[in-house]
Chains A and B, each alone.
Chain A
Amino acid sequence: MSNDNLLPSGLPRIESLEMRGIVKKFPGVLANDHVDFDVKAGEIHALLGENGAGKSTLMKILYGLYHPEEGGIYLNGRPITINSPTDSLNHGIGMIHQHFMLVDNLTVAENVALGLKSSREPRLDLDVVSARVRELADKYGLRVDPDTVISKMAVGERQRVEIVKALYRGAALLVLDEPTAVLTPQEVDDLFVIFRQMAADGHALIFISHKLDEIFALTDRVTVLRDGRVTGAVLTSETNKNKLANMMVGREVSLTRERPSVTPGKARLKLENVSAVNEDGQPVLININLVVRSGEIVGVAGVSGNGQRPLAEAIAGLQRVGNGRVLMDDQDVTNLAPAQMFDAGLAYIPEERMHDGVIKDFSVAENFILQDHVRPPFAKGIFLNFKQIAAHAQELINAFSIKTPSRETLVKNLSGGNIQKLILARELARQPRVIIAAQPTRGVDIGATEYIHAQLLKQRSAGLATLLISEDLDEVKALSDRIVVLFGGEIMGELSHEEATPEKLGLLMAGEREIEKMIYTFDKGR
């Protein structure tokens, strides 16, 4: 009988883990306000909530990274103290962070072994580690080669390495903080198979995601946080999307988008036969032709890494265009410097918002003037006009309802969704004529997503030309007037809003130009 209480790895299961009355304060915010949360063996429990609701904070407390002001953690009914990640690992708790924690130039096995005792100290036992990694990988169909170097792996693979690493360390409970945010739909499906298998084997899983579809596809129970407080804990089978959205946001959230009909104006942005190569001389853009008109949203779909980033950067002056021309309002702007592009009326929401879009150690106010600190009213001669900067910041914080303790708060303390709102506010306030929005709602909660979509549609009605680059097909489909699909740096085809079905997009995204043509002609003929 006792075997029933062991995991396949031979470790004891965590029958139940409870967090009771957890309170965690940060300057100006109550991140967790008497939160009760529990998870059982064999269960996948979703933690849901808006950006900044306190999900990551709660999980970091469980993992020993933060210390709560109040409350306790109970393992199988007995109180435990967790002062550090080492403590939590010893209790069988593993965590996969929102941002990966792997060492790029080490192999999988080396990463797994990092910080663990070797079986034959002081020498390494990488062969033993490799064998065990293979075993675990086989067990869960994780497809991970222990000898591959991390830097050579795609995001999806890295995710699997993180899971193997946690399993290797004997995790009986696994916290998954937005594991799907950066994965392609196919990778997400594969990952879910693994998660279900792990739960079936008696692991306890905590799953965080902003995508309601995923919650329904994967989890057994849902706990919803809002402003640090639990607003609901329900069985997934007994709820629906609207109810969950309501619990999260505290109001009705529209999950569908109204696209008012707008007659497109003149061509604002034009790419003519644009080609580009990367630092290694590999082609990243091949013969791109593209037009974005005033009052139009053109979606760029495709699996990431197929030229989306070079495309955006070629327009913004951050990637050299080898061949072809980029035109804005019929002016040749090919290979102008970024500052000149911004002056010409371009706005850019970069994909890696934390790295490229904001300065984490600058205040909110300072982040609002990244491009415009050189011109009035923010500049006064060679000096800065701090009064104007503060006023501008307050105005945008109010207009875009950005949640921040103050305009002087450092941006690194804001939640992901609010950072994204900040960037959007900054870019739109510059009154651009063309905007490139790259993954504008990745990792952003449904309330903020609704808001950002509404803003983009509002600007479309006001005549803005928008190039929307996104991996989220629902998003592309919901907002775009036309959709082009990138594959291997080439445009595989273009579909109108009406033509774009998930099937057709999927085929194009897989690089099936021939089939696309057939369907296309077939459709046209019909």
Chain B
Amino acid sequence: MNLPFTITFEKRVADIPKWLPAATSIGSVIVAFIVSGVILKMIGGEPLRVAKFFYEATFGSWATFSDTIVKATPLIMVGLACAVAFKMKLWNIGAEGQFYIGAFAASLVVLIPMVSPDSPKVVVIGLMIIMGMLGGAIWGFFPGYLKARFQVNEIITTLMLNYIAVLWNNFWIFDRWSDAGFQMTPAFEKSAWLPRVTDYAREYGTFIDGGGGLANFMTSIGLERISGMTLHLGVAFGLVAAVVMWWIFDRSRWGYEIKLIGDNPKAARYAGLNITRNIVLVMMVSGALAGLAGMSEITGVVHRLQERISPGYGFTGIIVAWLAKLNPFAVIIVAILFGALIVAGREIQPSGLSQLLQGIILFMVISSDVLLRYKVRLVRAQAAVEAA
């Protein structure tokens, strides 16, 4: 080869700078956008127009942004679910199943019913949160226990449990609780709905109509209309969960143990840590977060248990956690990006475009890991010649 330089990969010896992981993540997203643009151009599209459209469909107005956040909400929780497991190098790819079981367990509150539908919202929703998290936790417990006790590979078990969870749900909604033969249960009573922004439209709509300081302010930021906005309380669950996870990871004894076991299980054993218990616990927490996502989705968006409540949130959560480098706050940002991709996928034709972008992002993120492990240097070929 006669290149004027050669590329060498030198294994990093020094600690990587703190900003580098974030930089590679952001860099890979940007590169993914550029690559998608090039592909679009090659097949005769107009990348810039698509980009503009993409922006308008996702962040262009409060209404579309609200849609984006609604899609991001389950992704935040599922992303956190994956992050906590990955911290301990437990490859939980069963968030999808845990999501479904969480939704199932939460709906038991209304479908059995466990409390009267006339109970106050706090009671119904509170109970549904507990049930949803419990359901997900149980679904995480099985693979966790099998892994801890018998070294059964968690990748296989969590994957398989996804199918079981979906079929389990199907059985109940087809066979037991079907609403007039449809593949869904009857709609929940209002007491089991998470509060949505639009629900306050009448109250505050009139308020804004009436004029005054607040009304002026709302109008000035383009928020004169809030009716139709589907943003629901679930996003708060996600944000609170992120803060709690950050606390656990960075401040708590347990977070220290999770990282310790993840880094070197043998030394953890020598230090007297209970690895078995920690594996089960982490899988349960992971499952509980995914279950909470399922609960939030049925109470905040669909208001019933039905087929296909998730377009693969559990799997997207894996990408979200990875791209966020397992940092809880980064999970929020990445989840919003992927929420936007889902929304855009509905708006842009062909809809596969957004999946293409997702795929390229994932590809870039994984390959950018090389930069974290190696220093890439250009060595001038001349130097080598001179020296020889």
- In Å, the complex CA distance between A362 and B14 comes to 14
Asked if A80 contacts B8 (CB within 8 A), the reply is no
Q: Is A207 an interface residue (CB 8 A)?
A: no
Point out the residue from A356, A360, A371 that lies within 8 Å of B263, measured CB to CB: A360
- In Å, the complex CA distance between A316 and B15 comes to 34
Mark out the residues of chain A between 312 and 353 whose CB falls within 8 Å of any chain B CB in the assembled complex. Answer: 316-318, 337-342, 348, 350
Q: Is A452 an interface residue (CB 8 A)?
A: no
Contact with B along A264-297 (1 / 0, CB 8 A): 0000000000000000000000000000000000
Q: Is A65 an interface residue (CB 8 A)?
A: yes
Separation in Å of the A244 CB from the closest CB of chain B? Answer: 29
A355 and B388 contact, Cβ closer than 8 Å, known pairs A337-B274, A339-B272: no
Residue of B whose beta carbon sits closest to that of A57: B13
- In Å, the complex CA distance between A251 and B117 comes to 84
Asked if B264 contacts A359 (CB within 8 A), the reply is yes
**Across-interface contacts of A317 in B (CB, < 8 A):** 272
A373 and B256 contact, Cβ closer than 8 Å, known pairs A67-B10, A339-B273: yes
Interface segment, B161-169, B247-255, B303-311?
Answer: B247-255
Q: Is A262 an interface residue (CB 8 A)?
A: no
Q: Is A27 an interface residue (CB 8 A)?
A: yes
Separation in Å of the A168 CB from the closest CB of chain B? Answer: 25
Asked if A383 contacts B252 (CB within 8 A), the reply is yes
Q: Is B11 an interface residue (CB 8 A)?
A: yes
**Across-interface contacts of B8 in A (CB, < 8 A):** 83-84
- In Å, the complex CA distance between A361 and B270 comes to 16
Residue of A whose beta carbon sits closest to that of B248: A382
- In Å, the complex CA distance between A348 and B271 comes to 9
Tell me which of A65, A340, A342, A356 has the highest count of chain B C-beta atoms within 10 A of its own C-beta.
A356
Asked if A26 contacts B14 (CB within 8 A), the reply is yes
Q: Is B384 an interface residue (CB 8 A)?
A: yes
- In Å, the complex CA distance between A357 and B271 comes to 8
**Across-interface contacts of A413 in B (CB, < 8 A):** 15
Q: Is B149 an interface residue (CB 8 A)?
A: no
Residue of A whose beta carbon sits closest to that of B270: A356
Contact with A along B117-140 (1 / 0, CB 8 A): 000000000000000000000000
- In Å, the complex CA distance between A262 and B257 comes to 40
Q: Is B190 an interface residue (CB 8 A)?
A: no
Separation in Å of the B259 CB from the closest CB of chain A? Answer: 8
Asked if B267 contacts A356 (CB within 8 A), the reply is yes
**Across-interface contacts of B10 in A (CB, < 8 A):** 67
- In Å, the complex CA distance between A366 and B250 comes to 12
Q: Is B387 an interface residue (CB 8 A)?
A: yes
Asked if A374 contacts B253 (CB within 8 A), the reply is yes
Asked if A362 contacts B270 (CB within 8 A), the reply is no
Asked if A27 contacts B15 (CB within 8 A), the reply is yes
Total A residues in contact with B, Cβ cutoff 8 Å: 40
Point out the residue from A26, A27, A384 that lies within 8 Å of B252, measured CB to CB: A384
Q: Is A410 an interface residue (CB 8 A)?
A: yes
Asked if A355 contacts B260 (CB within 8 A), the reply is no
Asked if B15 contacts A410 (CB within 8 A), the reply is yes
- In Å, the complex CA distance between A316 and B272 comes to 9
Separation in Å of the B237 CB from the closest CB of chain A? Answer: 21
Mark out the residues of chain B between 2 and 60 whose CB falls within 8 Å of any chain A CB in the assembled complex. Answer: 8, 10-11, 13-15
**Across-interface contacts of B263 in A (CB, < 8 A):** 359-362
**Across-interface contacts of A185 in B (CB, < 8 A):** none
Q: Is A370 an interface residue (CB 8 A)?
A: yes
Q: Is A298 an interface residue (CB 8 A)?
A: no
Separation in Å of the A380 CB from the closest CB of chain B? Answer: 9
Contact with B along A53-88 (1 / 0, CB 8 A): 000000000000111000000000001110110000
Q: Is B373 an interface residue (CB 8 A)?
A: no
Asked if B271 contacts A371 (CB within 8 A), the reply is yes
Contact with B along A356-400 (1 / 0, CB 8 A): 111111100010001101100001001110000000000000000
Asked if A370 contacts B271 (CB within 8 A), the reply is yes
Asked if A373 contacts B267 (CB within 8 A), the reply is no
**Across-interface contacts of B11 in A (CB, < 8 A):** 65
A26 and B13 contact, Cβ closer than 8 Å, known pairs A366-B256, A384-B256: yes
Q: Is B202 an interface residue (CB 8 A)?
A: no
**Across-interface contacts of A80 in B (CB, < 8 A):** 387-388
Asked if A373 contacts B253 (CB within 8 A), the reply is yes
Point out the residue from B14, B256, B259, B387 that lies within 8 Å of A81, measured CB to CB: B387
Asked if A83 contacts B256 (CB within 8 A), the reply is no
Q: Is B176 an interface residue (CB 8 A)?
A: no
Asked if A338 contacts B272 (CB within 8 A), the reply is yes
- In Å, the complex CA distance between A379 and B257 comes to 12
**Across-interface contacts of B260 in A (CB, < 8 A):** 359, 362, 370
Asked if B270 contacts A27 (CB within 8 A), the reply is no
- In Å, the complex CA distance between A370 and B271 comes to 6
- In Å, the complex CA distance between A434 and B343 comes to 64
**Across-interface contacts of B346 in A (CB, < 8 A):** none
Residue of B whose beta carbon sits closest to that of A379: B253
**Across-interface contacts of B264 in A (CB, < 8 A):** 355, 359-361
Separation in Å of the A368 CB from the closest CB of chain B? Answer: 11
Residue of B whose beta carbon sits closest to that of A370: B271
**Across-interface contacts of B252 in A (CB, < 8 A):** 382-384
Point out the residue from A81, A340, A359, A382 that lies within 8 Å of B267, measured CB to CB: A359
Asked if A355 contacts B257 (CB within 8 A), the reply is no
- In Å, the complex CA distance between A192 and B320 comes to 56
Asked if B267 contacts A342 (CB within 8 A), the reply is no
- In Å, the complex CA distance between A80 and B388 comes to 6
Asked if A318 contacts B269 (CB within 8 A), the reply is yes
Contact with A along B326-367 (1 / 0, CB 8 A): 000000000000000000000000000000000000000000
- In Å, the complex CA distance between A340 and B8 comes to 51
**Across-interface contacts of A65 in B (CB, < 8 A):** 11
Point out the residue from B270, B273, B379, B388 that lies within 8 Å of A357, measured CB to CB: B270
- In Å, the complex CA distance between A362 and B15 comes to 11
- In Å, the complex CA distance between A359 and B272 comes to 14
- In Å, the complex CA distance between A26 and B13 comes to 8
Point out the residue from B254, B266, B273, B379 that lies within 8 Å of A355, measured CB to CB: B266
Mark out the residues of chain B between 368 and 382 whose CB falls within 8 Å of any chain A CB in the assembled complex. Answer: 379
- In Å, the complex CA distance between A317 and B273 comes to 12
Contact with B along A429-447 (1 / 0, CB 8 A): 0000000000000000000
- In Å, the complex CA distance between A360 and B383 comes to 37
B-side residues, CB < 8 A to A, are 8, 10-11, 13-15, 251-254, 256-257, 259-260, 263-264, 266-274, 379, 383-384, 387-388
- Interface CB pairs A-B, < 8 A, 11: A26-B13, A26-B14, A80-B387, A81-B387, A318-B269, A338-B270, A355-B264, A359-B263, A383-B252, A384-B253, A410-B15
Lowest 5 A-B CB distances belong to which pairs? A339-B272, A338-B272, A370-B271, A81-B387, A356-B270
